[in-house]
Amino acid sequence: MITCYLRYEIDPHKTREFEHYARLWIPLVERFGGRHHGYFLPHEGANDIALALFSFDSLADYETYRSRAADDADGQAALAHAHRTGCIRRYERSFMRPVFDGPEEQESFVV
């Protein structure tokens, strides 16, 4: 499993527009086989940073989602909203390997 970590720099005067964008993408990720863990909007601290996390079973599944979302009318509308409103200044995308459960058995390591 991989988790996509998105860090957005948003226009702090367009947080409402960004939230609308976020709400458009959550069901798209779910529709195309992912598990969305939410968007996280500014509250305290920096007022221009937002985050999103969502997971797919594999990087190949993520790439399939990207392709399908690009061809989907709702995906295109979400991107057009961000472009039209200018709510996103820039973003960074990283992939991580999540740990969702408790301890696993490991070999003893001698230090």
Neighbours of 82 (CB within 10 A): 21
* pLDDT (0 to 100) of residue 14: 97
**Measured distance CA(29)–CA(75) in Å, rounded:** 10
Say if residue 58 is exposed, middle or buried (CB neighbours under 10 Å; 0-12, 13-18, 19+). exposed
| Closest by Cα among 68, 58, 80, 59 to 32 | 68
Give the SS3 label for residue 16: helix
2-52+59-96 topology per CATH: Alpha-Beta Plaits (3.30.70)
Mean pLDDT in order along the chain per 10 residues (111 residues):
97 98 97 96 94 97 95 96 98 92 68 59
Q: How high is the pLDDT of residue 58?
A: 96
Q: What local confidence, expressed as pLDDT, does residue 17 receive?
A: 98
Whole-model pTM: value is 0.86
The confidence score (pLDDT) of residue 109 equals 54
Give the chain's largest Cα–Cα span: 57
